[in-house]
Amino acid sequence: VSEKRWYWLKVFALATIRDWDALEKFSKEKRPPI
C-alpha cells in the first residue's frame, strides 16, 4: 500500500468511527502526502 493510499484509508477509517480526537492528532503528527 502506498503512503498516500494508507493516509487516505486511515483518515477515512477515523472519520467513519467518528474519532475526531485521533483524526486531529494524526493530522498534526505527520505532513500529509496528499
Render pLDDT for 2-34 as a digit per residue (tens, 0 to 9): 888 988 898 889 999 999 999 888 888 876 666
For helices 20-29 and 3-16, the axis angle rounded to 10 degrees is 160
What's residue 3's pLDDT?
86
pLDDT of amino acid 9? 92
pTM of this prediction? Answer: 0.64
Tell me how far apart the terminal alpha carbons of the chain are, to the nearest angstrom.
Answer: 15
Residue 31, SS3 per DSSP:
coil
DSSP letter (8 states) at residue 30 = S
> What is the pLDDT, as a whole number, of residue 29?
82
Q: How much is the pLDDT for 17? A: 95
